[in-house]
Amino acid sequence: MTQKEFEERTGLKTDAEEYAAIERMYMSAGSMGKDEFCKRWRQTGKNPLTMALADTATSLNEMLGECRHELIDMREKNIEHARFLLGKAHAYADTDF
């Protein structure tokens, strides 16, 4: 959602910094649609609890992304290692290798 869309849906004016925080919250809202998010924003606005929860959700999503990258790296290393071992077993014709 753009800043302009948010302002049109809520009837509120925001500056770039404030909208950046709102956008982080919107992105953390999961599958909530734009209209539903804007409706809820009008109800809660700048509630400190809501803002804190959005910050936490953003941090957790970033950590999850980092963990996914680590898992992908480990998987690739495991595949590489398995190929190396299979190559050695094949080279020595050793089924127990």
Burial 19-41 (b: 16+ CB within 10 A, else e): beebbbbbebbeeeeeeebbeeb
pTM reported for the whole predicted model: 0.60
CB-based contacts of 55, cutoff 8 Å, min separation 6 = 24
pLDDT of residue 36: 95
Residue 83 DSSP SS3: helix
The answer to whether 97 touches 88, Cβ cutoff 8 Å, is: yes
pLDDT of residue 58: 83
The pLDDT tens digits for 74-96 are 999 999 999 998 888 888 877 66
pLDDT surpassing 80 at residue 47: yes
